[in-house]
Structure 1
Amino acid sequence: MSKPTDFTAILAQWEAERPDTVAITFGASRWTWAELATRVRRNAAAQRAAGLVPGDRVAVLDLNHPACLELTLACAQVGTANAVVNFRLAPPEIAYVINDSRARILFVGPEFAGAVAQLRDKLPTIERVIRIGGPDDEYEAWLAAQEPDAAVHPSKPEDCFVQLYTSGTTGFPKGAMLTHRGMVAHAHNVAVDQSIGPDAIVQVAMPLFHVGGTSYSLAALGQGARIHMVRMPDPAAVLEMLEREKVTHTFLVPALLAMMVKVPGAGDRDYSALKTLSYGASPMPLPVMRATHEIFPGVMQQVYGMTEQCGVVSVLPTADHEDPAVAHRLVSAGKAIHGVEIKVCDPVTGEPVAVGEPGEIWVRSEQVMGGYWGKPESTAAAITEDGWLRSGDGGHMDADGYLYVTDRIKDMIISGGENIYPAEIERVMVEHPSIEDVAVIGVPDEKWGEVPKAVIVARPGHTIDSAQMMAWCRERLASFKCPKSFDVIDALPRNPTGKVLKKDLRKPYWEGHTRQVA
């Protein structure tokens, strides 16, 4: 049998080989591979009945729900794409993403129905809103109204079927078009490095708008593994599920792990089935790492990745967490996974730098995105002619081939697994009548790894009130993007060309800290 090259073929393979084996569980519900395949084909039929054609987008605004994954798999069959919206965004940001995707149908969870109703007249491309779950669920009837459609659009490997949004350096998110080739390659490469197979039981606790949710789910499904999906990552519930369901693989962000280790009795449970606990997407404070290792010895792996590469590109294996002789590697991002090349280059010339020298991290693999939706110039700036993705991350490689991610070339802040670009915050704050100038930087935080801080220059005759600044930001930005503190100075440090020297602004706050961005 030839190796499947798209997720429609992968789903059909596991339906044929394991029709009565459970594929997904969610709360009290569970679906076998045969049931999942039937639901996906009904979804495909419903998309076609709604007039969707290859290249069209649908969008999902919801907490984790299997319907989102079903939509993604149906899009793979129809030739459409699922634009999964970050539910943590503020309403204006949500509207921007939906409109940018040009989605024709919006699927919304009960928690967000009110917000969508208020935004409805600002979403001109949306032809229909369909509620998922809750007492007003419309999704199940939408599926049941159609007979399963087995017709498969002849997709090309480079066709996009899921679109995840990354925060933009210009202040607006960009839709990374993730392709059949990229997602199939990622599923295979991750499975090789993490030993995920048909007998694996995979916990999906991260949100599906993030590669740690959708790509991790597809990696599990690609190998015929069982998924246990968590709607919201409650620390106690995640721990309870690890024990109850005998989970073998999970991916969690440091902020969640920091809360999990404080749950009473966390270390008294039986996690003996667990083979791999992957963590990443934000800095892991060493105290949190030590506390996590005490509860989960012998299974921890750090992963480093990016949306534009469908997820993981490097892994710090369990062995390096266990060996005191290489304890210095705990602040590294490990080595490139199977099928991925990584190098560090001068960000100006593009030439590789020497071992140990800082530069920009470049990645090349079949996992690479098809480009940024509707942004050819941004795509050309990010991907070189010979296929290297310029990550925008700064770091260096040691003599043993271990990658150290030390800073952000483009000043991005990673807080609790969320990517935050200062430009997004700055463009909101500079509109405040009391602000003359502003720069946003990341400063250390014990819980979230780092959080945004605003450094402000006040307009002549004005004073800065922190409570007013916070209220201004909260009205216009997602809460996780809002600065957690505000400093007022006379002038921002700038170089001769006028660029703000954010490195100088950050330096006092990072004294005594090992900056680890993963």
Structure 2
Amino acid sequence: MSPISGTASGTLPGTLPGVLRRAAREFGDRTALVEGDVTLTFSQLHALVQDTARGYLALGLQPGGRVAVWGPNKISWVIAALAATYAGGQLVPLNSRYTAHEASDLIERTAAQIVVVDDGFLGRTLSAELREVSALASVAAVLTFEQIASCAPAGAGAHADAHEMAEVEARADAVRPDDIADILFTSGTTGRSKGVETAHRQTIAAAEVWSAIGQVTAEDRYLVVSPFFHSYGYKVGLIVGLLRGCAIHPAATFEPGELLALIARERITVLPGAPAIFQGLLDHPDFTSTDTSSLRFANTGAASVPVALVERLQTDLSFEMVITAFGMTECCVATMCRPGDANELIATSCGRAVDGLEMRIVDHETGVVLVAGEEGEVQLRGPMVMRGYLDDPEATAEAIDPDGWLRTGDVGVVDADGYLRITDRLKDMYICGGFNVYPAEIEQILARHAGIADVAVIGVPDERLGEIGKAFVVRRPVADPDALLDQAAVIAYAREHLANFKAPRTVAFVDALPRNLAGKVLKNELRSSDD
């Protein structure tokens, strides 16, 4: 089949500092962020980012230096993140549910110069946890969200002299569209997470094309449930707010009752999320008594979406427009349905290529480009495709061919109208609650347990989360039968070393794992045995 593409997008500032300046200039006194009783205008946000960037420079942040931000969706996260790129640095968002071991590994690999954490989130003191597990050799300072938020909007920049602020603005001026803006980590099939490097122009392109299809305007009130450390919370959440001038309401955690109250109180209009998010709202006892009539645009995906759910989003949750989409960290926005598409098409497809992006289906063994209706690997090319993987040219070359085509590892079919349907995965990755989970990473962690001789992990269907992990474990023999490893011990060990969404929910103990002659685990047999 021929590559499928849309039209090119309009002209916008090429850098994130430029986007923030434009937002302050064009949307100045409009509401930019709302968190509880705290409200910031775009002008106030700009001033706070400038002041925080000045602080980064005072701490020695160099052009291209990395700032790691570890915490949930809050206004302080936004300020800390935008200040990183405004000061000419690169943003490294860390999963708020990571253990200190996971977070410190990424801090060390990126040689982050500044780390910003939310001490107190979920009862944890993240700064202390980090210091317990790592010397943080590259880090000049560990700041807290409380310190970032300590500058009242009216006082932002009050302690900076003209020379300091001129230095900040010069650093912002020096940023170029092809400079790396952010490094988002996604686990790899080898079990080692990969840092996806994205340039300023690419992050902006993703936000622009998504918000254009979603018809987002300055009148919208956008509830961002997807985590800011995820491309869907950051790029098509926060950055969309800056581009379109709409108010962003960050949600630190997913509490259906609290979010329903917020939707009614703030008259929320835009709410993207994984299917589990919407199902959680619909199933909550407060749903029937909550006014959700303000809702306008829902964007979902990351798992199969039942037609009945699409219909309930329109009828019960009152959304005027429901659109499914497909993307990945390496290409934040790839395909989307369009306004007016039929419910059946929305539920059974991922949409068609977004503006400016090309898509093709390829036989992954022969490299032959296939025609409509034939199943093969989904490949993408365009402005949203990543620059490459951090410090890993071999993995980058494997992922992106010399002509710029990204090999997604997903198997799909495109119909005659260009609509994509994902049918399988070349990789073993599964999706839990909207988050990609890579079994190889979990297997490496579990293999370190003294009581485990061999282990394999697969994703199994789950009504609420889409898929959850199931571990097949071969136990090491023990002299005392009472000391034999059980399911609770395996899950507890996983949760100690991994974020909750990665930890398997069930464990099956087997005498041996099925393997081929090359020693590779036959996961299809494990999936068959689980049916």
TM-score by length of 2: 0.88
Aligned mates of 1:40, 1:453 — CA distance in 2: 43
Is structure 2 residue 508 aligned with structure 1 residue 487? yes
Is structure 2 residue 227 aligned with structure 1 residue 207? yes
Is structure 2 residue 141 aligned with structure 1 residue 128? yes
What's the CA shift string for 1:112-167, capped at 9, x where partnerless? 5624313215022222111113xxx4652596643544322422222112221111
**Offset of residue 170 of structure 1:** 1.9
Q: Which residue of 2 aligns with 1:56?
A: 65
What SS class does the counterpart of residue 472 from structure 2 fall into?
Answer: strand
Choose the corresponding residue for 1:140, options 129, 150, 164: 150
What SS class does the counterpart of residue 75 from structure 1 fall into?
Answer: helix
Higher mean displacement: 114-123 or 364-373? 114-123
Identify if the C-alpha distance between structure 1 residues 399 and 82 changes in structure 2 by more than 3 Å, giving closer, same or farther. Answer: same
Contact in 2 for aligned 1:161/1:180 (Cα 8 Å): yes
Contact in 2 for aligned 1:159/1:370 (Cα 8 Å): no
Q: Which residue of 2 aligns with 1:514?
A: none
**Offset of residue 200 of structure 1:** 2.5
Aligned mates of 1:321, 1:231 — CA distance in 2: 33
Q: Which residue of 1 aligns with 2:13?
A: 4
Aligned mates of 1:15, 1:233 — CA distance in 2: 30
What SS class does the counterpart of residue 498 from structure 1 fall into?
Answer: coil
**Offset of residue 280 of structure 1:** 2.2
Aligned mates of 1:244, 1:330 — CA distance in 2: 30
Contact in 2 for aligned 1:105/1:127 (Cα 8 Å): yes
Identify if the C-alpha distance between structure 1 residues 477 and 286 changes in structure 2 by more than 3 Å, giving closer, same or farther. Answer: farther
Aligned mates of 2:510, 2:340 — CA distance in 1: 47
What's the CA shift string for 1:245-296, capped at 9, x where partnerless? 2222221222222211112242444333322111123444566555444423
**Offset of residue 70 of structure 1:** 2.2
Identify if the C-alpha distance between structure 1 residues 496 and 399 changes in structure 2 by more than 3 Å, giving closer, same or farther. Answer: farther
**Offset of residue 186 of structure 1:** 1.1
Aligned mates of 1:182, 1:63 — CA distance in 2: 24
Identify if the C-alpha distance between structure 1 residues 6 and 347 changes in structure 2 by more than 3 Å, giving closer, same or farther. Answer: same
Higher mean displacement: 61-70 or 500-509? 500-509
Identify if the C-alpha distance between structure 1 residues 141 and 70 changes in structure 2 by more than 3 Å, giving closer, same or farther. Answer: closer
Contact in 2 for aligned 1:78/1:153 (Cα 8 Å): no
**Offset of residue 26 of structure 1:** 1.6
**Offset of residue 362 of structure 1:** 1.0
- Paired amino acid for 1:127: A
**Offset of residue 207 of structure 1:** 1.0
Identify if the C-alpha distance between structure 1 residues 267 and 353 changes in structure 2 by more than 3 Å, giving closer, same or farther. Answer: farther
Is structure 2 residue 351 aligned with structure 1 residue 331? no
Aligned mates of 1:423, 1:91 — CA distance in 2: 20
Question: What is the correspondence of 1:211-230 to structure 2 with a 5 Å cutoff?
Answer: 211-216=231-236, 217-230=238-251
Aligned mates of 1:443, 1:218 — CA distance in 2: 34
Identify if the C-alpha distance between structure 1 residues 287 and 491 changes in structure 2 by more than 3 Å, giving closer, same or farther. Answer: farther
**Offset of residue 97 of structure 1:** 1.5
Choose the corresponding residue for 1:150, options 169, 177, 191: 169
Question: What is the correspondence of 1:32-181 to structure 2 with a 5 Å cutoff?
Answer: 32-111=41-120, 114-120=125-131, 122=134, 123-133=136-146, 137=147, 139-140=149-150, 145-147=159-161, 148=165, 149-151=168-170, 152-181=172-201
**Offset of residue 321 of structure 1:** 4.8
Contact in 1 for aligned 2:213/2:339 (Cα 8 Å): no
Q: Which residue of 2 aligns with 1:397?
A: 414
Q: Which residue of 2 aligns with 1:316?
A: 337
Aligned mates of 2:11, 2:372 — CA distance in 1: 41
Aligned mates of 2:261, 2:271 — CA distance in 1: 13
Contact in 2 for aligned 1:274/1:299 (Cα 8 Å): no
Aligned mates of 1:343, 1:491 — CA distance in 2: 40
RMSD, aligned α-carbons: 2.4
Contact in 2 for aligned 1:394/1:408 (Cα 8 Å): yes
What SS class does the counterpart of residue 140 from structure 1 fall into?
Answer: coil
Q: How many residue pairs align between the two structures? A: 502
What's the CA shift string for 1:28-53, capped at 9, x where partnerless? 11111211111111122112111111
User: What are structure 1's unaligned runs of at least 5 residues?
Assistant: 512-518
Aligned mates of 1:329, 1:19 — CA distance in 2: 37
**Offset of residue 483 of structure 1:** 1.2
**Offset of residue 421 of structure 1:** 0.5
Aligned mates of 2:148, 2:337 — CA distance in 1: 44
Contact in 2 for aligned 1:55/1:79 (Cα 8 Å): yes
Choose the corresponding residue for 2:40, options 18, 31, 44: 31
Higher mean displacement: 13-22 or 214-223? 13-22
Choose the corresponding residue for 2:259, options 216, 227, 238: 238
What's the CA shift string for 1:291-313, capped at 9, x where partnerless? 4444235422112111111x221
- Paired amino acid for 1:237: E
Contact in 1 for aligned 2:89/2:181 (Cα 8 Å): yes
What's the CA shift string for 1:12-67, capped at 9, x where partnerless? 22322232222222211111121111111112211211111111001111111122
Contact in 1 for aligned 2:323/2:346 (Cα 8 Å): no
Aligned mates of 1:377, 1:146 — CA distance in 2: 45
Higher mean displacement: 462-471 or 422-431? 462-471
Q: Which residue of 2 aligns with 1:515?
A: none
**Offset of residue 486 of structure 1:** 1.4
Aligned mates of 1:364, 1:91 — CA distance in 2: 36
What SS class does the counterpart of residue 264 from structure 1 fall into?
Answer: coil
Aligned mates of 2:11, 2:118 — CA distance in 1: 38
What's the CA shift string for 1:83-122, capped at 9, x where partnerless? 1110112221111112112111111112256243132150
Choose the corresponding residue for 1:412, options 429, 432, 447: 429
Is structure 2 residue 217 aligned with structure 1 residue 197? yes
Aligned mates of 2:493, 2:12 — CA distance in 1: 53
Higher mean displacement: 358-367 or 148-157? 148-157
Is structure 2 residue 383 aligned with structure 1 residue 366? yes
Contact in 2 for aligned 1:204/1:230 (Cα 8 Å): yes
TM-score by length of 1: 0.90
Aligned mates of 2:192, 2:341 — CA distance in 1: 38
What SS class does the counterpart of residue 298 from structure 2 fall into?
Answer: strand
Aligned mates of 2:248, 2:335 — CA distance in 1: 23
- Paired amino acid for 2:291: D
**Offset of residue 445 of structure 1:** 0.5
Choose the corresponding residue for 2:488, options 467, 473, 476: 467
Identify if the C-alpha distance between structure 1 residues 72 and 461 changes in structure 2 by more than 3 Å, giving closer, same or farther. Answer: closer
Aligned mates of 1:20, 1:186 — CA distance in 2: 26
Higher mean displacement: 464-473 or 435-444? 464-473
Contact in 2 for aligned 1:320/1:330 (Cα 8 Å): no
- Paired amino acid for 2:223: Q
What's the CA shift string for 1:324-348, capped at 9, x where partnerless? xxx2652321211222222121223
Aligned mates of 1:2, 1:262 — CA distance in 2: 43
- Percent sequence identity over matched residues? 35
Q: Which residue of 2 aligns with 1:306?
A: 328
Aligned mates of 1:329, 1:225 — CA distance in 2: 25
Question: What is the correspondence of 1:266-305 to structure 2 with a 5 Å cutoff?
Answer: 266-284=287-305, 288-289=309-310, 291-297=312-318, 298-305=320-327
Identify if the C-alpha distance between structure 1 residues 89 and 321 changes in structure 2 by more than 3 Å, giving closer, same or farther. Answer: farther
Aligned mates of 2:399, 2:11 — CA distance in 1: 33
